[in-house]
Structure 1
Amino acid sequence: MKFGNDLRIKTVTTWFPPDRENVEDAVAAGKLDTEDVDRLGLTGLPVSTRWSAPEMAAAAGRDAISRAGWSPSNVGVVMHTWIYHQGHDMWSPPHFVANEVGAPNALVYGVQQGCNAAALALQLAALHLDAEPGLGAALITTGDRFAPPGMDRWTSDYGLGFGDAGTAALLHHGDSGPDDWALLSLASETEAALELMMRHGNDFSAAPMSHSSSIDLRRPKKSYVEAYGKDKFTSIAGRSIRKVIVDAVRDAGLRLDDPRIKYIALPRLGAYLLDANYVPVMNDVLKAEALQFGADTGHLGCGDFLANLADLRDRAPLEPGDIALVIGGGAAWTWTCAVVQVPQEQAAERSD
């Protein structure tokens, strides 16, 4: 999906709580062994002992609006995404976020797409802005808090640890002001048959947490692999990851070996999962360097995609005109790749 020359990410922010759980703590508690530590490749995880998931999302949203130097009235649509409990049942966290950032009359969406939801929200926001030129800007937020007793951030899934955070991005049609990124293109690929992986061996239940007292994503995945083997998912994932990269780069009007493509930011999964599913495709398809930003944050649920955009801006040595890719995926299953560019106007600003 090509977006033209003027669709911009004004800014992107990540809000982390101050407390942490270190990997040594998880080992001491008997949640991880030495092999688990190596497979995860983590030093620790941000942990919220006070803030709910939507409160962290709202904090990131306020930071984004402040960083942009905008009035909240510029925001015409708010899209909030999450994968885990938001603090209340039968409640709308997107409306909370919109009100908390000062945009109570914005059009509000909740986007549910697993851990890929922020990428899909970015795509939906782009379509909205193209369809409604007078809408102003779109605010995309994510927020998750993986707190007990409903979840164990170290053991609820294979190959990753869950960190707490809120993230936010402001998408708009470019004006004369500076922007973090030009959004050149975005491509997605879905294999909906893989939804079975997340529920295999479990009947449909009548109420939340009926299958176990805490979220256990390992059990249905193990059941699925026993029935179908690992190769089925690995093959589909590799093919889909390759396709979204190739499609996104093509839609941006680029070649895969374009020297302006400097980096691709990978999801904040464990080292073993990245090496098994993402790195082989990167090495085969791109000359760009693959970056992994999650060693000190773990997997942020929906937040990986936007947090990676923020870290590319702040931690990667990019110049005006340079291009980066961000890739993500979410159960079960959609993969997305975005192509972003440091705006060319920044070169003129630096020379003034």
Structure 2
Amino acid sequence: MKFGNNLRIKTATSWLPPDCETVEDAVAAGKLAASDVERLGLTQLPVSSGWSGPEMAVAAARDAISRAGWSPSKVGLVLHTWIYHQGHDMWSPPHYVANEVGTPDALSYAVQQGCNGGAMALQVAAMHLAADPGLGAALITTGDRFLPPGFDRWACDYGLGFGDAGSAVLLHHNDHHDDSEGDAGPDDYALVSMATETAAELELMLRHGDDFSPTPLWHNEYIDLRRPKKSYMAVHGKEKFSQIASRSIRNVIVDSVHDAGLRLDDPRIKYIALPRLGTGLLDGIYMPVLNEVLKAEALWFGAVTGHMGCGDFLANLADLRDQMPLEPGDFALVISGGAAWTWACAVVQVPERGV
């Protein structure tokens, strides 16, 4: 899906709570096996002692709007995404986010696609803006808090730890004739293209061996993704998932780069930012594909955040801007994946000055 140079990411932000739990503390408390430390690659996980997922999303959104120098009234669309409990049952977090950031009239709804939700919400927002030039701007937010007893951030899944955080992105049309909201200032990126690929037959991995339940946490006292995955692998083996994942990761990289009008070896593609999974998972699934098809340097920002659920993708855009030496005209890729399963890859470019 090609967007060209006119669709801009004004800014991207992430918000982390001040408290954290170190790997050493987790091992000492019996929450994490010492044998798992190396393949996680983590030093700590951020832990919210009071902020809910939507509240952290609002904090990130307010930072984004402030950084952009915008009035909230410029935002006509709010998309919020998450993977775990948002603090209330039968409730709409997107409307909460919209109201709290000062955009109560904006169209607000949820985008749910597991940990790929941040990437998918960005693509949906881009399609809204492409279809409706009068929309103004879109705000995309994520927010999750992974607390017991329903969630074990260190043992819920294989090869990753979950960190509490919020993230946000502001997306808009580039318009050189409108500087009333600070648009004459630089955008972080042009959103040049995105590609996605889905393998819906893999949804079985997250429920294998279990009947449909009448209430949450029916099968286990906390969300345990290891148990159905282990059951699935015992029947179908690991090779099927590995083959599908490798093919899909390759396809979204190749397709997004092609849609951007670039070659895979274009020297202007400096980096590809990876999901904040454990380093063992990345080495086993992502890196063999990247080493085959791409010359860009792979980046992993997860050592102090862990996996932020669907927040990885948006937070990677912020960390890419703040931590890496990208020049005007340079390109970067940001890749994402969500269980059951969809993969996505975006090509972004640092705009040339005055463009």
- The alignment's TM-score, normalised by the length of structure 1, stands at 0.98
- Equivalents in 2 of 1:307, 1:100: separation in Å? 21
Structure 1 Cα separation of the partners of residues 121 and 44 of structure 2: 28
Residue-by-residue CA offset, 1:149-195 (whole Å, 9 max, x unaligned): 11010001110000000000000001342100000000000000000
Q: Distance in 2 between matches of 1:274 and 1:181?
A: 26
Residue 86 of structure 1 aligns with which residue?
86
Q: Does 2:122 align with 1:122?
A: yes
Q: Which residues of structure 1 form unaligned runs of 5+?
A: none
**Runs of at least 4 residues off by over 3 Å:** none
Measured against aligned partners, the alpha-carbon deviations of 1:173-218 in whole angstroms (never above 9, x if no partner) come to 0134210000000000000000000000110001111111111010
One-letter code aligned to 1:195: E
1:282 aligns with 2:290: yes
Amino acid at match of 1:102: G
Task: Specify the alignment match of 1:210 in structure 2.
Answer: 218
Deviations 1:68-115 (A, max 9, x none): 000000000000000000000000000000001100000011000000
Partner Cα separation in structure 2 for residue 209 and residue 89 of structure 1: 14
The answer for the alignment partner of 1:260 in structure 2 is 268
Alignment of 1:53-92 (within 5 A): 53-92=53-92
Which residues of structure 2 form unaligned runs of 5+? 177-183
How many residues are matched?
Answer: 347
Q: State the shift of 1:31 in Å.
A: 2.0
1:248 aligns with 2:256: yes
- Please give the secondary structure, in 2, of the residue aligned with 1:84: coil
Structure 1 segment 106-185 matched on structure 2, within 5 A = 106-176=106-176, 177=184, 178-185=186-193
Deviation at 1:289, TM superposition (A): 0.3
Query: What RMSD, in angstroms, separates the aligned Cα atoms of the two structures?
Result: 0.8
Inter-partner Cα distance in structure 1 for 2:103 and 2:34: 47
Match of 1:225 in 2: 233
Question: Which whole-Å CA distance do the structure 2 matches of 1:60 and 1:141 have between them?
Answer: 8
Match of 1:334 among 342, 349, 354: 342
Aligned partners of 1:218, 1:304: CA distance in 2, in Å? Answer: 21
Spell out the pairing of 1:298-337 with structure 2 (5 A cutoff): 298-337=306-345
Q: How does 1:15-34 map to 2 (within 5 A)?
A: 15-34=15-34
Which residue identity does 1:16 align to in structure 2? L
Partner SS, residue 166 of structure 2: strand
- Alignment map for 1:182-197 (pairs within 5 Å): 182-197=190-205
Cα distance in 1, alignment partners of residues 172 and 148 from structure 2: 38
Structure 2 CA distance, aligned partners of 1:5 and 1:68? 19
Q: How far apart, in 2, do the equivalents of 1:90 and 1:109 lie?
A: 14
User: Partners of 1:33 and 1:211 in 2: how far apart?
Assistant: 24
Q: Which amino acid letter does the alignment assign opposite residue 305 of structure 2?
A: T
Give the aligned partner of residue 96 of structure 1.
96
- Residues 1:273 and 2:274 aligned together: no
- 1:269 deviates by 0.2
Q: For 2:105, what is the secondary structure of its paired residue?
A: coil
Q: Percent identity?
A: 76
**3-state SS of 1:278 partner:** helix
Q: Distance in 2 between matches of 1:78 and 1:58?
A: 11
In the TM superposition, residue 4 of structure 1 has moved relative to its aligned partner by 1.9
Corresponding residue of 1:199: 207
The whole-number CA distance in structure 2 between the counterparts of 1:83 and 1:307 is 16
Q: Distance in 2 between matches of 1:68 and 1:5?
A: 19
Q: Distance in 2 between matches of 1:4 and 1:294?
A: 30
Tell me the TM-score normalised to structure 2 length.
Answer: 0.97
